[in-house]
Chain A
Amino acid sequence: MTETKPITYAWAINHAIDEEMQRDPTVFLIGQDVGRMGGVFGLTRGLFDKYGAERVRDVSIVEHLVVGGAVGAAIGGMRPIAEVQFADFLLLAGDESFHKMAKWRYMHGGRLTVPMVVRAPCGIQGGVGAEHSQSPEAHYWHTPGVKIAVPSNPADAKGLLKSAIRDDNPVIYFENRRLYRNKGVVDPDPELLVPFGQGTVAREGTDVTIVAWSAMVPAALEAAEILEREQVSVEVVDPRTLVPFDMETVAASVRKTSRLLVLHEASLTAGPGAEIAARAADELFELLDAPVKRLAGTDNPIPQNMALEPFCYPQTDEIVSTVRDLAKW
């Protein structure tokens, strides 16, 4: 029998890295404080002692090197897991991520492979401000050549990270810091992978579909609980990866509900929801009884003030009222 004790999202990430490093000697970690300290958020604890400094590589403040070096190591036959301390810092390595990581294979005729993962802790939490709180998944969705994982719970966090590490393509793995302490049951089977491009229905319902990922999934589920008491039945679809994006699961849900809300933490304008809403308008028009709605982060830099943070991304009451309005159509 498999063990059923719940573990945290953070620990699920640790297990995924540990298992894959154990399985494949070409997997290694590189990033600031990933080694001796075990990560600024404690996610890589124990790995330095277990695998040593060659496989758990502490670096200086060198984001270009972390990502660009990972690209080099990947084309040289390794499977790097590069950690940037905050997803925002990935933008420092813009050339290395947008150009080298995403395009190196294609530019060179498809004759080189770039099997690497960038772990990017994202999300608004802890009053850390405009340059430590973003969720820049749209930036990379707009960049052909990278896959994007956005896990919302411990089981997916583990299964998606393992798939990402084994993938021969570059993957950005957005881990939301608000989820780190969330617990869930994770099957310890080391061969249990969550495939990319397969969304999941996190909650079944019949009146309104919410497409949400990462930390917006728990928020959507909470809103759905409240709405159920008002006789509004909400289905929550979690795509789990944005690239590839599982439009089929969204379509199947909208076929039932005829109403769609796209929910995300990143700021609204030209955000990831715009892509999904556009595709829904294009591909699901006949199924829809209402305009596709988006509820997302506000279009401002995130203030360094915890009291203001909740105003910057969708809160449960806003989700409830938006769905309530949608359900009236």
Chain B
Amino acid sequence: MTAVSSDTRVTDERGMLLRLYREIARGRALEDVVHQLVQERSFRGFFHPGRGQEGVQAAVCAALERDDYLLYAHRGLTYLTAKGMDPVEILGDFHGRVVGSTRGLGAGTVHCVDPELGIMGQGGTLGSSFTLSAGLAMASKSLGQTKVACAFFGDGASARGTFLEAGVTAKAWGLPVVWVCENNGWAVSARVQDVQGTSDIAPRARALGFHTQVVDGQDALAVYEAAREAVTQARNGVPAFIEAKTQRIDGHYTGDMQPYRDRDEVAAAKARDPLDLAGARLTELGEDPAALAQIREEARAEMTAADAAARQSPFPDGSRIHEGLWA
């Protein structure tokens, strides 16, 4: 196995944090637009808010190259925008318009796709990304490419059997996978401790022989450093795993009032909002709060404009259902 030499610590903390701040703000602004769509019922279907977890998604994607593979998860949208996807295409999917990335089939969070950016989609059944990412990593390796296959999933999905099957195989073949567990402690209403007998997911990855890190998911910079390390490991043939301890601020889906959850816990989650934490650190480093407000405002404007653009696009004809089944 190749020794990993590159130092993954960030030298320009302020610059990197600013970049992450912007991505978190963009993901959140996009999500705010989606909440509106749900409220006005122009999007019908499940939406799983990612508020509280954007730092993990922004930071990991910042550590990926443009053509690295991404199999995102269902919680929020920051993975997509941070990987470079056009918000008009994402919102086009929510609206079910032809400008959407699925060209009118619709999607919501699930199934947004951008092959150019390595965004290879998502399955509606949790845990599919373990085997698919292993396959993508196999392809990358066989074709002599340097791409890693990054898969996001929650603590709940980490219990799927596919985790073990893909994990042992990734280890056996030294596949360049980066698995990122967003451990928010909950799978809908099931507390991970209650249903898995532990709150820690990383030990099972370590047991499989993955390079394993546990990181505070609310600290975007810490996640970025861990992700750099993980990506370096994976490119060198060591499957890598990150458990990001994170917080789900909202309900499982938009409209879930979380009656099963302690109010204090939700309040504590809000107190560790990754946008606020990054903002506070940036201010400490000398960043003008007005400049941060400006970034948030730009993000809002970008997403509002994207929504307007998506709404301009037509709905597909009924014949759309017959297109694209066969190559």
Contacts and interface: CB of A to CB of B under 8 A. Distances in A.
A96 B327 contact: no
Contact of A68 (B100, B128, B139): B128
Contacts of A289: none
B17 to A, nearest CB: 33
Contact of B324 (A55, A70, A73, A105): A105
B132 interface: yes
B244 interface: no
Nearest to A168: B327
A100 B327 CA distance: 15
A69 B131 contact: yes
B142 interface: yes
Contacts of A104: 121, 123
Interface residues of B, number: 44
B169 interface: yes
B162 A106 contact: no
Given A109-B101, A112-B113, A112-B120, A62 B324 contact: no
B135 A169 contact: no
A72 B138 contact: yes
Contacts of B53: none
A55 B128 CA distance: 23
Nearest to B164: A62
Interface in A35-88: 54-55, 57, 59-60, 62-65, 67-78, 80
Contact of A65 (B115, B139, B162): B162
B169 A62 contact: yes
B199 interface: no
B115 A112 contact: yes
Contacts of A109: 100-105, 111, 113, 324
A173 interface: no
Contacts of A271: none
A111 B166 contact: no
B324 A106 contact: yes
A312 B169 CA distance: 38
A188 interface: no
Contacts of A76: 69, 120, 135-136, 138-140, 143, 149
Nearest to B101: A109
Interface in A14-47: 26, 28
A185 B327 CA distance: 32
Interface string A98-140: 0110001111111111110000000000000000000000000
B139 A78 contact: yes
Contacts of A222: none
Given A59-B169, A64-B165, A72 B139 contact: yes
Given A76-B136, A78-B143, A71 B324 contact: no
A28 B166 CA distance: 18
A107 B169 contact: no
Contact of B168 (A62, A63, A71, A111): A62
A112 B130 CA distance: 18
A310 interface: no
A314 interface: no
Contacts of A60: 165, 168-169, 172
A326 to B, nearest CB: 36
Contact of B133 (A59, A72, A115): A72
A95 B121 CA distance: 16
Given A106-B324, A113-B327, A99 B123 contact: yes
Contacts of B267: none
A65 B169 contact: yes
Interface in B93-143: 100-105, 110-111, 113, 115, 120-121, 123-125, 128, 130-140, 142-143
A108 B132 CA distance: 14
A144 interface: yes
B257 interface: no
Contact of A62 (B100, B133, B149, B165): B165
A101 to B, nearest CB: 10
B325 interface: yes
A67 to B, nearest CB: 8
Contacts of B110: 107
The interface centre, meaning the residue of A28, A65, A67, A104 with most chain B CB atoms within 10 A of its CB, is A65
Given A99-B123, A111-B115, A169-B327, A69 B161 contact: no
Interface string B56-81: 00000000000001000000000000
Interface in B271-288: none
A64 B133 contact: no
Interface string A178-219: 000000000000000000000000000000000000000000
The interface centre, meaning the residue of A74, A100, A169 with most chain B CB atoms within 10 A of its CB, is A100
B194 interface: no
Nearest to B121: A108
B317 interface: no
A203 to B, nearest CB: 32
B40 interface: no
Interface of A: 26, 28, 54-55, 57, 59-60, 62-65, 67-78, 80, 95-96, 99-100, 104-115, 144-145, 168-169
11 contacts: A69-B135, A72-B133, A75-B120, A75-B132, A76-B120, A100-B123, A100-B128, A105-B324, A107-B105, A108-B111, A111-B113
For the complex of A and B, the 5 pairs showing the least CB-CB separation, nearest first, are: A72-B135, A110-B324, A68-B131, A76-B139, A109-B102
Interface of B: 69, 100-105, 110-111, 113, 115, 120-121, 123-125, 128, 130-140, 142-143, 149, 161-162, 165-166, 168-169, 172-173, 323-327
Given A72-B149, A169-B326, 7 more contacts: A65-B166, A68-B134, A75-B136, A75-B139, A78-B143, A99-B124, A168-B327
